Amino acid sequence: MFRDHFHLPTGPDGKPLIYFCGNSLGLQARAVDDQLHQELGSWRERGVEGWWGGPDGGWLGYHRRLQDGLAAIVGAQPEEVVAANALTVNLHLLMISFFRPAGRRTKIIMESGAFPSDQHAIASQLKFHGLDPADHLIEVKPRVGETMIATDDIVAAIEAVGDELALVLWTGVQYYTGQFFALASIAAAGRRVGAVVGFDLAHAAGNVPLSLHEWRVDFAVWCNYKYLNGGPGAPGGIFVHQDHADRPDLPRFAGWWGHRESDRFAMKAEFIPERGAAGWQVSTVPVLGLAPLLATLPLFAEAGGMTAIRQRSMELTASLYEELQQLPDLRILTSDDPAQRGAQLSVYVPGHRPELERQLSEAGLIVDYRQDNYDGSGGGVLRLAPAPLYNTPEEVRAVPERLRQVL
């Protein structure tokens, strides 16, 4: 149990609150203070010379200090990953390179109800290429009366579009329902029809085991502030398969930090990309923004890696599922199949309750609540996400009573 490695929010009585909101913002690791102070000290004592002097050789290759940890979490080779930019920025940058509509291949397929930022990015990319999203964006929905999207339906939709499909852009874990998609099957289906395959892993990285290299995914993006506990607004993550590591021919919106490091400071006008995912960096590495990840990533390895973390997560979520069934007025949207969910359970709460999130917080339970019109009643969805690194079975068992107090 790694709970003692994290700062836990406390209530007025000084006791820890039940924090089931790691799917929105992970907690701060205790080691973050020391890591940030180290970089602040280097800045204070060395100024600009901190780039090439000080602990671990300075800041110039800062992103490389994160590669092994991130690669292990997403199932990649170290050179295939980099922490840089931000999630939606990275999605745009990677789509510039990998969404290249031509001839019949002009369409994108994604899940219905994707996170709005993904919808905005994809629609704007289609318009950038002069394509109408109404004609070139295909969204796969759950079957009538269901909340999960069947893998068979996803694969069938990919095969139906066939040689008109330019890009499969799919979510790892659905932000709203908590569904963990069969990513290996989706990637294989995309490859069979000759499409590029990209994943948004915002709710999957650090939550579920991934094998991006093995699945031959072309690219992926994620944020590092949820299950990876990188801090509010932490720089995002990029995966680019090694098949594309040495492809300077790929178009990209370039910036100087993506230039080949060996002659980056020669200030040449010609852009020569660094090998691998690092070639999609744009601006100077945000040292203070990445420092918390250096404190947090080692905890995943110490905990036994993603297989061990996933096992503990499944135990917590199974227990939470049983506890929530004690509240018959609530409807659990997330699958009862452990293989189809990550650390999050989404629960539909009927009625108009704009103050519900605040009320639950006052009752000692911090969760995420999204007001919605899911069934026409004006209700909303509670997203409860016990994070296996710092949440406990005792907290899971306490959740129904906290919900009863408020509901």
pLDDT of amino acid 377:
60
Name the domain boundary from 278, 300, 322: 300
62 with 158, same domain?
Answer: yes
352 with 224, same domain?
Answer: no
C-alpha to C-alpha distance for 20 and 333, rounded to whole angstroms? 17
* Domain assignment present for 31: no
Question: Which strands, in side-by-side order, build the sheet including 236-240?
Answer: 81-84, 236-240, 219-222, 196-200, 165-171, 107-111, 137-140
Name the domain boundary from 262, 280, 300: 300
250 with 318, same domain?
Answer: no
Q: Are 158 and 170 in contact (CB under 8 A)?
A: no
Residue that has been written with the tokens 């110490």 in this structure: 302
C-alpha to C-alpha distance for 369 and 376, rounded to whole angstroms? 17
337 with 286, same domain?
Answer: no
How many other C-beta atoms lie within 10 A of the C-beta of residue 314? 17
In which domain, by residue range, is 118 found? Answer: 46-300
Between CA 84 and CA 167, with CA 272 as vertex, the angle to 5 degrees is 60
Nearest to 280 by CA among 117, 121, 89: 89
Task: Please enumerate in sequence order all residues whose Cβ is within 8 A of that of 65, keeping only pairs 6 or more positions apart, or say none.
Answer: 56, 294
* Domain assignment present for 32: no
* Strand, coil or helix: 142: coil
Q: Which two tokens stand for residue 71?
A: 């690669």
pTM of the predicted model as reported, rounded to 2 decimal places: 0.96
pLDDT of amino acid 351:
85
140 with 216, same domain?
Answer: yes
C-alpha to C-alpha distance for 263 and 240, rounded to whole angstroms? 22
* Domain assignment present for 40: no
pLDDT of amino acid 1:
65
Task: Provide the 8-state DSSP code for 291.
Answer: H
Q: How far apart are the first and last CA of the chain?
A: 31
Q: Which two tokens stand for residue 248?
A: 């300077």
C-alpha to C-alpha distance for 3 and 12, rounded to whole angstroms? 21
Nearest to 276 by CA among 292, 298, 289, 261: 261
pLDDT in 10s for each residue of the chain, 407 residues: 689 999 999 999 999 999 999 999 999 999 999 999 999 999 999 999 999 988 888 999 999 999 999 999 999 999 999 999 999 999 999 999 999 999 999 999 999 999 999 999 999 999 999 999 999 999 999 999 999 999 999 999 999 999 999 999 999 999 999 999 999 999 999 999 999 999 999 999 999 999 999 999 999 999 999 999 999 999 999 999 999 999 888 999 999 999 999 999 898 899 999 999 999 999 999 999 999 999 999 999 999 999 999 999 999 999 999 999 989 889 999 999 999 999 999 999 988 888 999 999 999 999 999 887 555 567 899 999 999 999 999 999 999 999 999 98
pLDDT of amino acid 140:
98
Q: Which two tokens stand for residue 404?
A: 């009863």
CA distances (Å), origin 301, targets 53, 202, 238, 295, 306 = 28, 20, 20, 12, 8
C-alpha to C-alpha distance for 173 and 370, rounded to whole angstroms? 17
113 with 261, same domain?
Answer: yes
Q: How many domains would you assign to the chain?
A: 2
pLDDT of amino acid 173:
98
Name the domain boundary from 300, 326, 360: 300
